[in-house]
Structure 1
């Protein structure tokens, strides 16, 4: 059963620390396995990709078969139901419209010393998007990762997706929806590979797949570890852990609604985490009963039950002030505020990946169509990280321009600091210019 405790309990702090510290880390051998896969793809290229894809996903005859033809994407888009296509288009329009507001304009100015300064923003050239398979297929992941890159102006967007999803293993037609989303979002190349080998191909390149500059997208422990190991050779969006939600709710909320919100995260993964904090003990008990009732009928009940029972928590507090304090310590990926004064409470929250205001704003709506990105910092990293945005697909270049007068104004200070650091050539590169500069 989930942990259930109160700030009144004498052992509250130790129990709360156990919630904070349950990082749900992968097994120790994951790193070694991933390192071996990366080395194989780096050294053997397409041959390793084919062998690993046959081993873990599906039979592929030749390297040329790794790429899903554009015609297949077109047929997938044409083959989905009108209702599904309309939903994808609605989501795409809203996601693109939100991210289009994330503007990054450069600037130029001349300061009092006469030095010209500025910065400019330019898009990354190429991005790889990993779309997971396994327990489900995620067309929403395609839209959320690809559209901000397109808004930023990325020239080449490559997508990898395991063959199991391509074949619709997670359910009839699901493969088509993923590929249709790729076509709608404007993906340039789609390859039927998954796992750490897909990350390796995107980072190192092979004869068939040209390498990219940055890799984004969620995945299992092997994918996350592969991204960690290739970081530095390429950029990454972050190391995503299992999904999580924290719901702060008062006694006027509907227990059945809150229970559904908790299970919406729990059904992702047995390692997902759902927490509810309330100032009403009776409501806390009602939520737990409602969760069990929902689990009786949910199709993914086995996954959701494992998540809720192993990683869920129900915390009762004396006041909502305490709830906010605990929320900041948890720094959740998703924070729902199902309370009367949601705006006021939200204004006091400092650490959360995304905040959902009021009783009629379930986190699930933002997974698909609200507009903001659903790729968010997990495992308390909201203390220092943000969700995926256009900022992840642009880079800043600073600009400096000196003339003889302005170099004369600031150069001596730079020379002094260079000598203090023992870097005489640094000082020399400034001194030779000042010595040759025209007088006056």
Structure 2
């Protein structure tokens, strides 16, 4: 038999100050995933700006089937908490207070909601669907997943796509980059003079934001990045100029708006750096408020910067509070339609699990990934009693 377990730290359970201590940086995720693999038969790790989640599956003669929501029928999370405690310096009881722990079909329901954007800080945002897909790709590349989690993650991607298509959730959706772009356009339109925009970072989020606001009337767009070629290419696309990260402090003094979205594990804009820039701005008679938008996780801007006079600092938490779905009738109707789609997709996946359970232990391990994909996402093939569609491999 096989049991599922989930342990997650998200915007719903843990503040940003806790998540940034717990969450491995991009370069540490692989090492963490391999460590977790030692505690369960299968594992997968999902890391986004709003969540850090670990999914586990274990095979044991003593467990109930995958539908069981009993903690005794699932992998032990004790070793995971101990591992996170060692890396974060937080006690295990403190971690438990901020963690959400699920078992059995509750894991399935949660992951499907995540993929559909219903559990995101910004309702319906599209990035998370690609991140769930990348979670599967990375787990397969590392060899940490197997038949159950592979099928679960594929089914979640299918469910997320269908929920977006059939529910109208996209019409009320938002995202961190989208809301940052809205703020930038509003700021550019309200300036008495053309303002200067400083983007710290040259990755996907930086590119999406800049593409949306490049024609907003900025006097100057400066992009500071660690990778010279990528930074230069982005600058050429948006009509900006590229500098290296060492130039940030100097550029800060002449910027009107700053967006920071790098993978740095330590803040790039400290209180001392921003305070010095504010002094230089005063000497240059730049009296307008300096707007800092921090899209980093961990944060790229020290939180205490918000206490400095002449600064408005918005991080992921404040953006979510400011632009989260308002719960209006259109939003609630779209959420209800999406939830109905997810219920159907969860039932489909649970039928697949039941069919595999009936085959016994050999049924889980003998199914090839291609056949597994056909069973889970093959339309009517998953109906109870329907024949399994075989795919050449």
Q: Looking at CA atoms only, which structure, 1 or 2, has the larger radius of gyration?
A: 1
TM-score, normalization by structure 1: 0.26
TM-score, normalization by structure 2: 0.28
**RCO (CA 8 Å, sep 6+): is it higher in 1 or 2?**
1
